[in-house]
Structure 1
Amino acid sequence: MDQIDESSQARSLEGFTPLLSIHEACGALLMILVIIWTSYYRDGFSWKSNPQLEFNWHPLLMTIGLVFLYANAMLIYRTQRNVRKRRLKFTHAGMMFFIVLLTVIALVAVFDSHNLASPNPIPNMYSLHSWVGLTTVILFCCQWVAGCVSFLFPGLQGPLRASYMPIHVYFGVAAFVGAITSCLLGLNEKAIFSLQDKYKTFVGEGILINCIGLLFIIFGGLTVYLVTQERYRRLPRPEDDVLLSR
């Protein structure tokens, strides 16, 4: 019986490793291209002493946190399927908390770059990018708090956890899609504002921005596929319920 179960699980996981490898390669390339863009084309990084360069922390940290790390945090139950459930839960929650910290720094950077701009400050929260982005951040933080209460609080009954799980998964994926959408809107906004008419002439920076946008779409699509495929789910183990009741 165990051999049949193992054989069935192996068949259900067919294609997972190649897709995951492509997924991680796209994520690594995405971060490298964002670093090249912000370092080479946007002149690097600073803090409040140079608000224009302080802005560059915003796209970099959002890409690392709300895109790459968020994707891997959602996939951790599928990539680390042999690790005990209790450890996975704390790792997942810890990654989410680290993403919150990166997001806060990224938000401080963008608000500083607007408010400290000289000679005239730049208005905040007027664009569709900012509206979608802030909505995504709020949803992400609510997800993290609700997940910690639901899955790490030892006194919560199993049926309540089970009933909340589909909601947690749905809104987790929704927040990730919102993050990808916000990144695409932000890229387009930055390209139009910074390059202006040069964007139409296929300058190097414009082509790089477009390539980054395509990678966001590919990486996001692969993430959603891997997260939502039932056949890639981690199979429950007998010790899971015991571990979660402690």
Structure 2
Amino acid sequence: MEQIGDSPQRQSHSLEGFTPLITIAETCGGLLIILVVIWTTYYRNGFSWRSNPSLEFNWHPLLMTIGLVFLYANAMLLYRTQRNVRKRRLKLTHAGMMLFIVMLTVIALVAAFDSHNLASPPIPNMYTLHSWVGLTTVILFCCQWVAGCVTFLFPGLQTPLRASYMPIHVYFGVAAFIGAIVSCLLGLNEKAFFVLKDKYAAFESEGVLINIIGLLLISFGSLSVYLVTQERYRRLPRPEDDVLLAR
């Protein structure tokens, strides 16, 4: 919506409610990781690698939760939470966080495929809705990272081109994050039905924990999307922002 005068600038300074919301979001995110660790260690017997495919799988939900959920949200919110840091440093930190998420995601995918292929008998791959949504999300995320690096870190690119791509980058970045949340929810429900079967309906403690993890995913995801899409929380542009890699 177009505004007259300097109201957009005033709006960018309006941080009312930001601190309590980001505190609640980070608390939900931290608790989410703790509960996933408890689930994978206490209920799913911990971690291994290819010597024990069933335990190797446990790396998949843990690393996906840390990478494509918690770190991804914080990478998106970096420009909101670190608004006094120079834009150049923010860009490089954002790109570095995304690269680290890619590395975690690759390990998580290897763990998932290994746990299927090395099982006895082998388990089919890529037949569930969770796997389809998850792989689509990973591909979108990687494309976003490459396009973002080229657009915002390449020194020779013109500022108007960067500005025109920014809304697309933000939209598909949020879309990929929502896809990650949806994929995690589908994966949790799928795992609960596969391993608990009738015990899930009997309110088995593991099933209750899985449901709580799902609610935390929704809470953390919703708060993160809200914070990253609110115009009043955006970082105030500075004169040096147009200088990408030059001091």
Q: Give TM-score scaled by structure 1 length.
A: 0.95
Runs of 4+ with deviation above 6 angstroms: none
Match of 1:115 among 104, 112, 117: 117
2:154 paired residue number: 153
Q: What is the CA-CA distance between 1:184 and the residue it aligns to?
A: 0.1
Higher relative contact order (CA 8 A, sep 6+): 2
* Whole-angstrom distance in 2 between the partners of 1:10 and 1:237: 12
Q: What is the CA-CA distance between 1:239 and the residue it aligns to?
A: 1.2
Native 8 Å contact 2:50 2:114 kept in 1 = yes
**Identity rate, percent:** 83
Matched positions, count: 241
Q: What is the CA-CA distance between 1:68 and the residue it aligns to?
A: 0.1
State how 1:169-188 maps to structure 2 within 5 Å.
Answer: 169-188=170-189
Native 8 Å contact 1:155 1:245 kept in 2 = no
* Whole-angstrom distance in 1 between the partners of 2:154 and 2:124: 42
1:21 and 2:30 are equivalent in the alignment: no
State how 1:121-200 maps to structure 2 within 5 Å.
Answer: 121-200=122-201
For residue 151 of structure 1, what is the amino acid of its counterpart? F
2:210 paired residue number: 209
Native 8 Å contact 2:13 2:236 kept in 1 = no
Q: Tell me the alpha carbon deviations over residues 94-153 of structure 1, each in whole angstroms, 9 at most, x when there is no partner.
A: 0000000000000000000000001x1000000000000000000000000000000000
* Whole-angstrom distance in 1 between the partners of 2:232 and 2:128: 40
Unaligned runs of 5+ in 1: none
Q: Tell me the alpha carbon deviations over residues 168-217 of structure 1, each in whole angstroms, 9 at most, x when there is no partner.
A: 00000000000000000000000000000000000100000000000000
* Whole-angstrom distance in 2 between the partners of 1:56 and 1:134: 18
State how 1:31-42 maps to structure 2 within 5 Å.
Answer: 31-42=33-44
Unaligned runs of 5+ in 2: 1-5
Bigger helix share: 1
Q: What is the CA-CA distance between 1:240 and the residue it aligns to?
A: 1.1
1:73 and 2:68 are equivalent in the alignment: no
Q: State the secondary structure of the residue aligned to 2:50.
A: coil
Deviates more, 1:11-20 or 1:104-113: 11-20
For residue 179 of structure 1, what is the amino acid of its counterpart? A
Q: State the secondary structure of the residue aligned to 2:197.
A: helix
Q: What is the CA-CA distance between 1:9 and the residue it aligns to?
A: 6.2
Q: State the secondary structure of the residue aligned to 2:144.
A: helix
